[in-house]
Amino acid sequence: MATHFPKGFLWGGATAANQYEGAWQADGKGDSTADHLLGGSVTQPRRFAEDAEQPGYFPAHVASDGYHHTEADIKLMADMGFSVYRLSIAWTRLFPKGDEREPNQAGLDYYRRVFELCRQNGIEPLVTLSHFELPYHLTAAYGGWGDRRLIDFYVHYATTVLREYAGLVRYWITFNEINIGFLLGSYLSLGLPVPDGAVPISTTQTDAALQASLTALHHQLVASAKVVQIAHALDPANQVGCMIAGMVAYPLTAAPADVLLAQRANELNNFYCGDVQVRGHYPAMAKRYWQEHDIQLTVTDADAAVLAAGTVDFYSFSYYSSGTETADADKRELTGNMSVGVKNPYLTYSEWGWSTDPTGLRWYLNTLTSRYELPLMVVENGLGAVDTLTAAGTIEDDYRIAYLREHIQAMSDAIADGVNLIGYTIWGWVDLVSAGTGQMAKRYGVVYVDRDDTGQGTFRRLPKKSYAWYKRVIASNGADLA
């Protein structure tokens, strides 16, 4: 089948600071919400600890030690031919508590070095300002994004970043998977306080919990819109996007009730935040949802004006798998790591409960194009799996190659359908910590990192079979998928 990717298409990979950098107290960095999460598994929820220095394995403290492997890792990306690298800035490297007025110079210097190295190697930085790592002080002292004051703290941080790296970075994302907070987990995304204990990824929330999550989410949406306006004012060349967790839902059966439920799930999962950030106002379905759950949001006239004026330039999203929905409540469950719904009998599933569904990616791309007519980027896509070193010291990850090949072909088909897709960054190009479980064993990278779930390992980097394959894909602009 022919492939279709435009000239100048952005090929690359992605990481997040709290899952990749480690060095959690290096050079003046403060602790983030991620630094207070212990490791878990698909069957054992991660646990929150108020004391991040207590005994136990806190995966974000060391992660893949990217902080100390910066130059070598960028060389690996350059060798693959990356034209874009999606990464996040750790807010606490710049403002350790989050509410200071003056930034930490060592943090500013670190990211300047990263961006300059990217530029020297022909790599465009695509920078996420907030990726599941709120300064912990803002949770402990203010209650996380439930406090409206966080809007100003975030805007101050983001403005500092935009000014500091003007000319080095032109693609920005305000919040990672902004819809996750009210869908699956309010601590991970919104920094809402939790007691010492489990931090489950839940498929349902009480109305009281929804009230807290949606209030916090509104504050994030307002903050995002403000930063979009600031970015455009500082440099008209800045392009700012939203980032949504793309969760495609199919009806389990052709029963009208299932079809309607799947439609509503897609609206809530994907378009609640997308509509606000792209169109500049809450959609009608959101207001109905508030009524059904007795949600009272304070949306001031000033908020509404900010949302209307701060719409994004592009729409980026993660896509890993699809789910199904049914009106039979007994069948709806958490099928795996951050995967909700009922298993689809037509798809295969990983040991973490995620389906493989490249057709769902094509469907989603076409649906977004029909709804928004904006440039699109797939900024997270990949297969988490257990990788085994052979006796020869190689990793023959043909399963990952197959997954990526099918999804890249689906993107090509969507482009042929008329989708304006401008970039693709695999998650994560190098092995890193899983956000949902805190595991290293759930490996995504085309580069292996010698690190395990007990915190042991040398951090040695080893390109997998998929590394050479992805290098050929990039060199051919997606034409060579063999």
Q: Which residues are catalytic?
A: 177, 380
Q: Are 3 and 31 in contact (CB under 8 A)?
A: no
Radius of gyration of the chain (CA): 21
Q: How far apart, in whole angstroms, are the C-alpha atoms of residue 225 and residue 72?
A: 36
User: For residue 456, what are the contacts with CB-CB under 8 A and spacing of at least 6?
Assistant: none
> Can you read off the two tokens belonging to residue 345?
């009998």
Q: CA triplet 380, 59, 40: central angle to 5 degrees?
A: 85
Helix (H, G, I), strand (E, B) or coil at 318: strand
Tell how strand 421-427 and strand 376-380 pair up: parallel
> Which of 214, 222, 223 is closest to 146 using CA atoms?
214
- What is the identity of the amino acid at 229? Q
Query: Number of C-alpha atoms within 13 angstroms, CB side, residue 372?
Result: 30
Q: Are 178 and 221 in contact (CB under 8 A)?
A: yes
- What is the identity of the amino acid at 259? V
Q: How far apart, in whole angstroms, are the C-alpha atoms of residue 407 and residue 357?
A: 8
Count CB neighbours of 345 within 10 A: 7
Q: CA triplet 298, 212, 138: central angle to 5 degrees?
A: 95
Q: How far apart, in whole angstroms, are the C-alpha atoms of residue 342 and residue 328?
A: 10
> Can you read off the two tokens belonging to residue 250?
């199919």
> Can you read off the two tokens belonging to residue 128?
């996420």
For residue 377, the cross-strand partners are 316, 423
Helix (H, G, I), strand (E, B) or coil at 364: helix
> In 364-460, which ranges are E strands?
376-380, 421-427, 447-449
Count CB neighbours of 292 within 10 A: 9
